[in-house]
Amino acid sequence: MVPEATFTSYYGRPVLKAPSWHPADIAGYLFLGGLAGGSSIVAAGADLTGRPGLARTTRVGALGAVTLSGLALVHDLGRPSRFVNMLRVIKLTSPMSVGSWILTAYAPLAAGAAGSDVLGRWPRTGRLLGLGAAVLAPALVSYTAVLICDTAVPAWHEAYPDMPFVFVGSSAASAAGLGLLTAPAQAEPCRRLAMFGGLLEIGASRRIVHRTSFVAEAYRLGRARTLLRAAEGLTGFGIVGGLLGRRRHWLSRLAGLALLAGGACERFGLFEAGMISATDPKYVVVPQRRADLH
Amino acid sequence: MIEDNSLFGPVDAAPNAGDVAPPARVGFFTDTSVCIGCKACEVACKEWNGIPEDGINLLGSSYDNTGALGASTWRHVAFIEQTRPRPDDGHEQVRWLMSSDVCKHCTHAACLDVCPTGALFRTEFGTVVVQDDVCNGCGYCIPACPFGVIDQRKGPAGDRNVGLAQKCTLCYDRLLDDATPACATACPTESIQFGELDELRVRAARRLEALQNAGRSEARLYGEDPNDGVGGSGSMFLLLDEPEVYGLPPDPVVTTRDVMAMWRRAALAGGALVAGAVICFLGGQP
Ligand code: SF4
């Protein structure tokens, strides 16, 4: 245990400014972007292994998720009409800049893949576009971890080694959930992917939550704690339900829903913990004082 | 190009941003030991920069009814009342600390590093400024700043910069006309000093020495060291207590120091995802 520390502050006021991001927009974006990328990977796998039903629902899911996530991003801007200013520059030091370019490249590919599948036109082009989307997907689902960690928000910044693993695990689990929900008959690989992604999400998330650091406490407080616990329960249920649901499609579907809900709770929980750590000056002052001693 | 000290460590700010033959870097030295808490700086800043009113409240924190730096507060005078025993006879005595805070115009400015539109830029004077006509209000700079300086302007409705990130420009417009920033001009005690950064550093060191020689052992400089976590500030301070007493972070580090390590972790995780997915689709039962 880290001992309770004494610290001074200016009338208890925050040292940092908490993000002005609306949780529904930005935590929602983290979830939907992850779902989109994960779904593109599942769709490509399904396509290449002859599971057209699963390929179709995950392609459509990827397009739906990326569309909603883009809308959430634009909605959160102080000047939504200036959205295109995101594409004025390319900056490696700005994960949001990198992400804007990834999204810009990814979204048309996802749209083409879904469009060709649903319309039944240009199957070969559609397949290529789908594979292209899957190639970009790992970047799409992991850059968002860098996005939140590359801030002065103590709980996010210190978690940067583990955060991308939570994000990719959670994305895989959510996409597997979508597959189990919409195409249980062809979702055999999704059962395994749910286990892989779900366990990665739970394991990496636990590393963050139970880190021996003063700041990690923020993950164990209030709504962050509730959401992260719910995430773990739902994801755990989803993994087991997926494995037991081979002959019970209703159970597969239920597991799929649980995985999706678990993924959403995970992102909202991580988001909330960041807010807690940004608003209380002790999470800024105490660790910086400790670093002083070394 | 990212070079050794592009993201961390001591550099000259404007040349590091690619400026060829810029003028000398300028900044503020705020000597809080002579601040009288008149708030002329707050007023002059608002007047010159056309900043809207952002709350007329009684905050119950001594004479500070401004609260904190923010989108519409680019200078903020902190007031701290302390009761402590006098060194000679132990008699309880009240002392008042006052300090005018401002954007640090960091050598390595996280706000600027993470800005996705290029709205935040490094001026030829080495300062950090938001271009109001480029910013789209994404808000990324806000949690990036380790000092809690920059914020999104929320109102009043009709103000032309509502929705945009706003902070001190170190009076960029005045600098272009060889004029001193409004706050430093208005300060009646020269607590806020404006000048070339190198010269201010010398002045700050001299003032610190003088105070310490006079027995003020609690005096210290803040933000003057180019080897600190932000590569040194463009605004340095002489404080009479720990930084956190004034609401300043004691040892801030620019978040982008770690950004390349973050990308590497993300790449590793992305690779793990691909490997995991391949195994899930190829392994096991059909
Ligand atoms: S103090 Fe904050 S807003 Fe000012 S330059 Fe540094 S990071 Fe940017």
pLDDT band for position A294 (cuts 50, 70, 90): very low
pLDDT band for position B284 (cuts 50, 70, 90): low
Q: Omega before B156 cis (within 30°)?
A: yes
Q: Do B150 and A165 touch (CB under 8 A)?
A: no
Residue A145 CA: distances (Å) to CA of A170, A208, B281: 11, 13, 25
A284: contact with B, CB 8 A cutoff: yes
Q: Residue A224 is encoded by which pair of tokens?
A: 């962050």
By C-alpha distance, the chain A residue nearest B108 is: A93
Window from A6-20, B9-23, B59-73, B210-224 with minimum mean pLDDT: B9-23
> Which residues on chain A are in Cβ contact (under 8 Å) with B242?
8
Q: What is the pLDDT of residues A11-69, one digit of tens each?
A: 999 999 999 999 999 999 999 999 999 999 999 999 999 999 999 999 999 999 999 99
Dist CA A220 CA A63 (whole Å):
34
Number of the ligand 1 atom closest to the C-alpha atom of B233: 6
Q: Whose CA is nearest to atom 8 of ligand 1?
A: B111
Q: What are phi and psi of B219, to 5 degrees?
A: -70, 140
Mean pLDDT along residues B110-136: 97
**What is the pLDDT at residue A30?**
97
Question: What is chain A's mean pLDDT, rounded?
Answer: 95
Dist CA A65 CA A44 (whole Å):
16
Q: What are phi and psi of A291, to 5 degrees?
A: -60, -35
Q: Determine what percent of chain B is predicted with pLDDT higher than 90.
A: 85
> Which residues on chain B are in Cβ contact (under 8 Å) with A11?
59, 61, 64, 247
Q: Residue B221 is encoded by which pair of tokens?
A: 């400089």
Query: Which 159-188 residues of chain B touch chain A by CB within 8 A?
Result: 162-165
B156: contact with A, CB 8 A cutoff: no
A281: contact with B, CB 8 A cutoff: yes
Q: Whose CA is nearest to atom 2 of ligand 1?
A: B145
A185: contact with B, CB 8 A cutoff: no
**What is the pLDDT at residue A271?**
98
List ligand 1's pocket residues with C-beta within 6 A: B 103-106, 109-111, 128, 145, 147, 149-150, 167
Residue in A21, A86, A157 closest to B116 by CB? A86
Domain ranges in chain B are: 13-255, 256-286
**What is the pLDDT at residue B86?**
78
Number of the ligand 1 atom closest to the C-alpha atom of B128: 5
Q: Residue B160 is encoded by which pair of tokens?
A: 């032309």
CA atoms within 13 A on the CB side of B147: 30
Query: Which 86-105 residues of chain A touch chain B by CB within 8 A?
Result: 86, 88-89, 91-97, 100
Q: Which residues pair with B70 in a beta bridge?
A: B73
Given a cut of 80, whether residue B34 has pLDDT beyond it is yes
Q: Do B250 and A152 touch (CB under 8 A)?
A: no
Within chain B, how many helices (H) and strands (E) appear?
8, 10
pLDDT band for position B285 (cuts 50, 70, 90): low
Report the SS3 class of residue B250.
Answer: coil
DSSP B51: P
> Which residues on chain B are in Cβ contact (under 8 Å) with A174?
none
The Å distance, Cα B50 to ligand 1 centre, comes to 21
Dist CA B12 CA B127 (whole Å):
11
Dist CA A145 CA A147 (whole Å):
5
B38: contact with A, CB 8 A cutoff: no
> Which residues on chain B are in Cβ contact (under 8 Å) with A76?
138-139
Give A42's contacts (C-beta < 8 A, 6+ positions apart).
A54, A58, A175, A176, A178, A179, A189, A190, A193, B277
Taking a C-beta distance cutoff of 8 angstroms, is the pair B206, B221 a contact? no
Taking a C-beta distance cutoff of 8 angstroms, is the pair A269, A228 a contact? yes
Q: Which residues pair with B76 in a beta bridge?
A: B101
> Which residues on chain A are in Cβ contact (under 8 Å) with B152?
20, 78
B118: contact with A, CB 8 A cutoff: yes
Nearest CA-CA distance, residue A121 and chain B, Å: 26
Given a cut of 80, whether residue B4 has pLDDT beyond it is no
* CATH 3.30.470.20 is the classification of domain B13-255: no
Which of B109, B157, B161 lies closest to B135 in space, CA to CA? B161
Residue located via tokens 């396509």: A47
Residue in B118, B247, B283 closest to A9 by CB? B247
Query: Which 222-281 residues of chain B touch chain A by CB within 8 A?
Result: 242, 244-252, 255-256, 258-259, 261-263, 265-274, 276-281
Residue in A14, A48, A163 closest to B148 by CB? A14
Dist CA B33 CA B211 (whole Å):
9
**What is the pLDDT at residue B16?**
86
B7: contact with A, CB 8 A cutoff: yes
Dist CA B89 CA B179 (whole Å):
48
Question: Which residue intervals of chain B are DSSP H helices?
Answer: 13-16, 40-49, 110-114, 141-144, 172-176, 182-186, 197-213, 259-282
**What is the pLDDT at residue B17?**
86
Dist CA A147 CA B98 (whole Å):
37
The Å distance, Cα B147 to ligand 1 centre, comes to 7
Taking a C-beta distance cutoff of 8 angstroms, is the pair B135, A80 a contact? no
Dist CA B182 CA B104 (whole Å):
16
> Which residues on chain A are in Cβ contact (under 8 Å) with B272?
165, 168, 200
Q: Which helix (H) or strand (E) holds B121?
A: strand B120-122
Given a cut of 90, whether residue A4 has pLDDT beyond it is no
Q: Residue B76 is encoded by which pair of tokens?
A: 């903020």
Q: Residue B22 is encoded by which pair of tokens?
A: 């810029």
**What is the pLDDT at residue B205?**
97
Q: What is the pLDDT of residues B45-91, one digit of tens each?
A: 999 999 999 888 899 999 999 999 999 999 999 999 999 887 778 88
The Å distance, Cα A16 to ligand 1 centre, comes to 11
Q: Residue A278 is encoded by which pair of tokens?
A: 């940004």
Nearest CA-CA distance, residue A246 and chain B, Å: 11
Residue in A142, A147, A193 closest to B269 by CB? A142
Mean pLDDT along residues A113-140: 96
Q: What is the pLDDT of residues A180-200, one digit of tens each?
A: 999 999 999 999 999 999 999
Mean pLDDT along residues A262-276: 98
> Which residues on chain B are in Cβ contact (under 8 Å) with A286?
none
Q: DSSP letters of A93-144?
A: T-HHHHHHHHHHHHHHHHHHHHHHHHHT--HHHHHHHHHHHHHHHHHHHHHH
**What is the pLDDT at residue B161?**
96
Dist CA B225 CA B236 (whole Å):
9
Q: Do B247 and A10 touch (CB under 8 A)?
A: yes
In this structure, chain B runs to a length of 286
For a pocket test of ligand 1, which of B150, B151, B170 has the largest count of ligand atoms closer than 8 A to its C-beta?
A: B150
Q: Which helix (H) or strand (E) holds A196?
A: helix A188-209
Mean pLDDT along residues A233-242: 98
Domains of chain A (ranges; CATH) run 18-286 (1.20.1630.10)
pTM: 0.95
